[in-house]
Amino acid sequence: MHIIQVAAEFAPLIKAGGLGEVLVGLSRQLSASNHRVDVILPKYDFIPLELLANLKLEIANFTTWENSREIKNTMWSAEFENIHLHLLEPHHPANYFNRGKIYGFEDDVPRFLYFCKATIEYLKIKQFPIDILHLHDWHAAPAAALAREHLPPTSIALSIHNLEHQGKCGAHDLIRIGLHDQRLKKFQCDQYPDSFNSLKGGIEECDAIIPVSPTYAKEILTAQYGFGLDSTLLKHQHKIRGILNGIDEILWNPDKDHFLEAKFNPSGPLPKVIDAKKKNQDSLAKRFGIKGPKDAPWIGTITRIVHQKGPEFLEAAIEQTIQNGGIFALLGSSPIPKMQSHFEQLKMRYKSHSQVFLHLDFDEELAHQLYAALDFILLPSHFEPCGLTQLIGMHYGAIPIVRSTGGLKDTVFEKTSLTKQNGYVFEGLEIPPFLEKITEAVRVMKTEPQRHAQIMSNGLKSDFGWEKPAKEYLELYRNLIRLV
């Protein structure tokens, strides 16, 4: 098959969260199964081009129209292993992708609408025989409508990595990239006719909608999780199929992870894993002046600090961890200045507390080191489409403590046989049950070491690779192709 992926992120080149990792993990697996995979991305000015082989100019000066303004673009191509990358460089007066970061600008919607428009122009020029056009999240979703208008009949899949972000806009934003009449209407919100929405247009126009876990696929049909799109999604329920993400085992392999002080084989003997984790803890403790009681459990997480991730729960976990004689370690940063400054204040408050380590930055290297050091990884998310953090955590020997929602519900199991338990799960929206779970997990670690070891081992041995999810995607792609 010839599969075209369109997205805003692709790890390790450009990553703000799970989206970039899914793009590389899925693409690697599809190309390993002998399919041709092309990925189209914006050419951000901070992509480390040295990671790309054979970067070359593919098409110079092709035209995109924004209203009546003619804009030229250059498409660059490069090989990333067996994946064909295409990097779109618009020569746009607003310097859409030359701003040092991926998101967080007032004109994010026009930036990505433009990206969709130019992507479709490019595909039109190339005349690829496309089997599947696979779009990811709101940044790429409008390309579905443009493809319907400008490309021959194509099977279009749309992955929903996070329904909270929808690319809300006005009609004028869509008209600017040439969407009118019936096509424009598909972007219109059911409840608020003056409001338009990039993701909604994609949902209406695509052939398959893929939320990133089976539980999330059901949750988004409800008002609680639907972020206003639940009624639209219900209308298109027949197109929805949840497929759980995997983790990319090249990005995340504790046996070959050059960031780690002590590497370990997750399927090797448990005492060796535990020994390596202790060394990784000692190394971080020395570097950052962290100190706790002997054999203190390391409890923490690696996260974007946003409402979704339950920051108030994480804050409450600091005191609980201290009370439980543990070390609390958080690596996180927030795109919301108020939230970032709140955590900066917390950091000041715990400045002289040697059991609390708050590192408020985005730091890939430290993330690897912390996964390998943590005994418990916290995900008290209000909602979680899939969550890679708990999967990476388990692969690195950190036992997850999670809310029962979305992909967390599909991957972390407590109330099952001991041979299957791989973590701790709490229900509901209150903080105390979460704190009780932390205390219970620490108690098991201290008083039932064999049970603790079994839970950790179950996580280490789980298969969260991309092989199985990629097979599901391929099956879905084949079904779509049959429909065209």
Residues forming contacts to ligand ADP in the complex (CB under 6 A) are 17-19, 21, 302-304, 331-333, 362-364, 367, 386-389, 392
Residues 343 and 358 sit within 8 Å (Cβ to Cβ)? yes
Shortest Cβ 415–ligand ADP spacing (Å): 23
For the purposes of burial, counting CB atoms within 10 Å of the CB of 433, is it exposed (0-12), middle (13-18) or buried (19 or more)? middle
Neighbours of 324 (CB within 10 A): 21
Pick 209 or 302: Cβ nearer ligand ADP = 302
Residues 55 and 43 sit within 8 Å (Cβ to Cβ)? no
Query: What number of CA atoms fall less than 13 Å from residue 402's CA on the CB side?
Result: 31
Shortest Cβ 255–ligand ADP spacing (Å): 18
Pick 254 or 387: Cβ nearer ligand ADP = 387
* Size of the chain in residues: 484
AA letter at 422? N
User: How far does CA 41 lie from the centroid of its chain?
Assistant: 16
Placement of tokens 């971080």 in the chain: 284
Shortest Cβ 332–ligand ADP spacing (Å): 5
Pick 281 or 389: Cβ nearer ligand ADP = 389
Strands 298-304 and 208-211 turn out to be unpaired
Instruction: Report the residue number whose CB is nearest to ligand ADP.
Output: 18
Residues 229 and 163 sit within 8 Å (Cβ to Cβ)? yes
Return the structure tokens found at 340.
């970032």
Pick 123 or 367: Cβ nearer ligand ADP = 367
Task: Compute and round to an integer the Cα radius of gyration of the chain.
Answer: 23
AA letter at 421? Q
Give the integer Cα–Cα distance in Å for 314 and 301. Answer: 9
Pick 297 or 407: Cβ nearer ligand ADP = 407
Shortest Cβ 376–ligand ADP spacing (Å): 16
Pick 41 or 130: Cβ nearer ligand ADP = 41
Shortest Cβ 19–ligand ADP spacing (Å): 6
Residues 469 and 213 sit within 8 Å (Cβ to Cβ)? no
Shortest Cβ 279–ligand ADP spacing (Å): 21
Shortest Cβ 76–ligand ADP spacing (Å): 26
Pick 20 or 178: Cβ nearer ligand ADP = 20
Q: Is the peptide bond before 12 cis (omega within 30 degrees of 0)?
A: yes
Pick 12 or 228: Cβ nearer ligand ADP = 12
Shortest Cβ 419–ligand ADP spacing (Å): 26
